[in-house]
A = this chain, B = another copy of it.
Amino acid sequence: VPVESTPGRRTDAVANHARILAAARAVLAERGLDMEVHDVAVRAAVGVGTLYRHFANRDDLVRAVLSQTFEEVLARLRAAAEIADPAAALREIPRALTADQTLFTAMQDPRAARLLGDMKKQVSTSIADEVVGLVAGIVERGIRGGAFRADLDPPATAAAILGSIVLTCEFLGSRRPLSELAALLADLHSAMVCA
């Protein structure tokens, strides 16, 4: 029987994986892409050897953190789209997209493009389709219910809303709190769509 397959070992491995990921996320939020594997191991209270059994290298670890964070942002966007009142649902979109400082800080780094590579490409196609679709769905509900203007084009309005959030946070996020920008954006979007 291989050592790794005993129940206790497996439970430890799962716990270690989660603990390393949580530690990496905290270190990434503080240091950005300059994150050191050694600091992650210290914070997770595991040896560097254990860390390397879970993640082949530093880049792998950064990618795992960003991938987990993307999933959470997506979950928050899906939850926002479920809010019954379309105006309230739309106000939640900038908050959902800006809730995670880790992702935001990492994505600001020019090295992120190289590091993410395929992951970023994947985000800009299938995930972009889903996110634009979620927001377009809110716009359609608002039009049907009469809260939003009837002449809105749902996909174009959704893309405009998402683009306004992305670029405003990229451009001003290093100088102003993301929560303040999210509130300003929610006001602009309301003015843009409300009947």
- Contact of A156 (CB < 8 Å), options: B149, B153, B161, B181: B181
**Number of chain copies forming the complex:** 2
A149 to B191, CA, bound (A): 10
A interface: dominant SS: helix
Rounded to whole Å, the gap between the CB of A52 and the closest CB of chain B is 30
The answer on a CB contact under 8 Å between B185 and A172 is no
- Chain B minimum-CB-distance residue to A124: B170
Residue A157 lies at the interface, judged by CB distance under 8 Å to chain B: yes
Q: Is the CB of B132 within 8 A of A160?
A: no
Establish whether residues A161 and B164, one from each chain, have CB atoms under 8 Å apart when the complex forms. Answer: yes
Q: Does A128 contact B (CB under 8 A)?
A: yes
A185 to B163, CA, bound (A): 12
Contact with B along A148-166 (1 / 0, CB 8 A): 0101110111011111111
Which residues of the other chain, B, contact A171 by a CB distance below 8 angstroms?
A: 128, 132, 155, 159, 163
Taking a contact as CB atoms under 8 Å apart, the answer to whether B167 and A159 are in contact is yes
A168 interface contact, C-beta 8 A = yes
Expressed in whole angstroms, the Cα–Cα distance for A170 and B160 within the complex equals 11
Q: Check A188–B192 contact: CB distance below 8 A.
A: yes
Interfacial chain B residues near A176, Cβ < 8 Å: 156
A164 and B160 CA atoms in complex are apart in Å by 4
- Name the CB-closest residue of B to A94: B160
Nearest first, the 3 A-B pairs at minimum CB distance are A163-B167, A160-B164, A159-B168
Q: Which A residues contact B (CB, under 8 angstroms)?
A: 110, 113, 121, 128, 132, 149, 151-153, 155-157, 159-168, 170-172, 176, 181, 184-185, 187-189, 191-193
